[in-house]
Copies of this chain bind each other. A is one copy, B any other.
Amino acid sequence: TMSPETAAGDSSGAPARCCSYHTVQRRLPVLRWLPQYSLWWLQLDLLAGVTVGLTVVPQALAYAEVAALPVQYGLYSSFMGCFVYCLLGTSKDVTLGPTAIMSLLVSSYAFHDPAYAILLTFLSGCIQLAMGLLHLGFLLDFVSCPVIKGFTSAASVIISFNQVKNILGLHNIPRQFFLQVYHTFQRIGETRAGDALLGLVCLAVLVGLRAMKGHIARIHRVELLSVRISRLIVWATATARNALVVLFAGLVAYSFQVMGSQPFTLTGETPQGLPPFQLPPFSKAEANSTVPFSEMVQDLGAGLAVVPLMGLLETVAIAKAFASQNNYRIDPNQELLAMGKTGRSWPSCLRTACNGAFGLCSRTAVNAQTGVCTPAGGLITGTLVLLSLAYLTSLFYYIPKAALAAVIICAVAPMFDARIFRTLWRVKRLDLVPLCVTFLLCFWEVQYGIVAGILVSGVLLLYTIARPRIKLSEEGVLLMQPASSLHFPAVESLRDAMHRWALAVSPPRCVILDCTYVSSLDYTVVMGLADLLQEFQKRGVTLTFSGLQGHVLQVLLSADLEGFQHFPSVEEAGK
């Protein structure tokens, strides 16, 4: 066993002195890149920032719709994340902002009420901060791949179908998925032709532009200027497609408005300017009473566990994916800190918000593609969002809901992964269980799906541990070889196997327990083995150990087992 001297580029390998410059740098990553900032970096960051901004603004409006909140909240939530992550984040590509997943989760807890949404995001931020300070990042390890896949696939279906009503121009459809399906199909005859037509056109344009983007190669410097410019135009059109589609649809709606008829359902009034700087609402005034803090927290319930966890999972997943592509590492606990502080520093910003997305987040992908250099790109994006809040809100009035619905559907449809079912069937059938549980229960209630999925995969894991495979073979005596470590829940299973194959047969048989694959033992297992040794002695047969690893042997020796015998290998034990 060697211990390599240095692990360059790995900050967590460094000595953790409390107040050194290095520690400050770790906690405030801005100090790492700011001293070296150059004009060339600024150019690239500026380009990336503007491009991302054009994606972010229409998405923010759309996700506010998914979260069932007034549109401006989508924008509020977009700019603050940009600024804070710029100071504290470890990944240059990630841009914090509203995502489809988080909007969906918020919608199921916030009951259409911004007060709840703000409190939820504030408390989620606090919880994430606490998790970061307590180094609880490892909890994320217990959300397995099938659970994530099941959840994102279900979310894709739920969010897409949620927008069908906007494309059809239907109103007053309930939010619960099954009721929504029922009511949408029941009232499909009430479809408004204008909304439906516009929605389908927008969808077609978006799909077309995305397909185009997938087919253009990267720009090379060796080509002709005209080729390069035309390619740049195509690329820019495809990248800013959300903004263009929304703009186009808004113009059409405005023209109809001027002409005095309006075939579309519009977004309507949006308050101008910044949200007031204030503490989150710790109580809520209703028609004739006040809902106190404790009751609001109770109403949020499981959301306080699910929202911080999933938010963090999204950001870490995306940050890791990009970091690995671009050769740097991120620190989950630092990410927690960054996200926690985002939530805390500006409570009035919707934390739906302060989250990346699951590898499918177009913003972050755009950021990486335009060659962003430092988290400063986020500053530019944030400024753009602020500017649109200040000057463009009166224009938001004319955005047709059907166009936003098309933007959302195009954003979330790729999250649905039908192949995963076939892949799991081929690779590991048992993992279909958590996948299906998560996928199906998510349609009932998103949080139930996630929690049930995590629990089911945990139970399957524990069951595997409690029932290790034990290989039996015959080498004169009976040879039993557990295929993996023996943890305390496995004792009964080992004991049953010994009884069944060695003690309960007549005459009783001698056993060699080959512990080659056993890498740790706890006290319960040691006690179980002590009992077994006694029982073997009582029947006049022997239980011998072989292939014990060094520290396992030490544990067994320190327990002073009566009649304990061990040999380095099965051959020697068999003699």
- Chain A residues with CB under 8 Å of chain B are 1-4, 6-10, 13, 138, 140-142, 144-146, 324-325, 327, 329, 423-424, 426-428, 430-431, 457-458, 461-467, 469, 471-474, 483-485, 487-493, 499-501, 504-506, 517, 519-524, 526-527, 531, 534-535, 538-539, 555, 558-559
Contacts and interface: CB of A to CB of B under 8 A. Distances in A.
A483 B7 contact: no
Contact of A527 (B145, B469, B489): B145
A321 to B, nearest CB: 8
23 contacts: A2-B472, A2-B473, A6-B505, A7-B505, A8-B505, A9-B504, A138-B463, A138-B466, A141-B466, A141-B491, A329-B499, A424-B523, A427-B558, A428-B523, A428-B526, A428-B555, A431-B523, A457-B488, A461-B489, A483-B520, A484-B519, A484-B520, A517-B517
Nearest to A10: B504
A138, A464, A488, A555 interface centre (most CB from chain B within 10 Å): A488
Given A10-B504, A138-B492, A146 B524 contact: yes
A467 B141 CA distance: 10
A471 B551 CA distance: 14
A519 B522 contact: no
A423, A466, A490, A522 interface centre (most CB from chain B within 10 Å): A522
A500 B427 contact: no
Contacts of A430: 522
A477 B464 CA distance: 33
Contacts of A558: 426-427
Contacts of A471: 1
A interface, by DSSP: helix, strand, loop or mixed?
Answer: helix
Given A324-B535, A531-B324, A558-B426, A500 B7 contact: yes
Nearest to A466: B141
B142 A489 contact: yes
Given A144-B488, A473-B1, A519-B517, A427 B138 contact: no
Given A7-B505, A8-B506, A426-B559, 11 more contacts: A142-B489, A144-B524, A324-B531, A427-B526, A431-B523, A431-B524, A461-B487, A461-B488, A484-B484, A484-B485, A484-B520
Nearest to A492: B141
Contacts of A474: 2
A329 B501 CA distance: 13
Contact of A427 (B1, B488, B559): B559
Instruction: Count this chain's copies in the assembly.
Output: 2
A314 to B, nearest CB: 16
A417 B111 CA distance: 55
A4, A426, A458, A463 interface centre (most CB from chain B within 10 Å): A4
B464 A520 contact: yes
A462 B428 contact: no
A6, A469, A501, A504 interface centre (most CB from chain B within 10 Å): A504
Contacts of A10: 499-500, 504
Contacts of A490: 141
A142 B493 CA distance: 12
Contacts of A492: 138, 140-141
Nearest to A532: B324
A319 to B, nearest CB: 13
Contacts of A473: 1-2
B483 A519 contact: yes
Given A7-B500, A141-B466, A141-B491, A146 B520 contact: no
Contact of A522 (B1, B428, B520, B534): B428
A471 B500 CA distance: 36
B1 A523 contact: no
A365 to B, nearest CB: 17
A33 to B, nearest CB: 18
A461, A504, A521, A523 interface centre (most CB from chain B within 10 Å): A523
Contacts of A559: 423, 426-427
A335 to B, nearest CB: 13
A324 B555 CA distance: 25
Contacts of A461: 462, 465, 487-489
B7 A523 contact: no
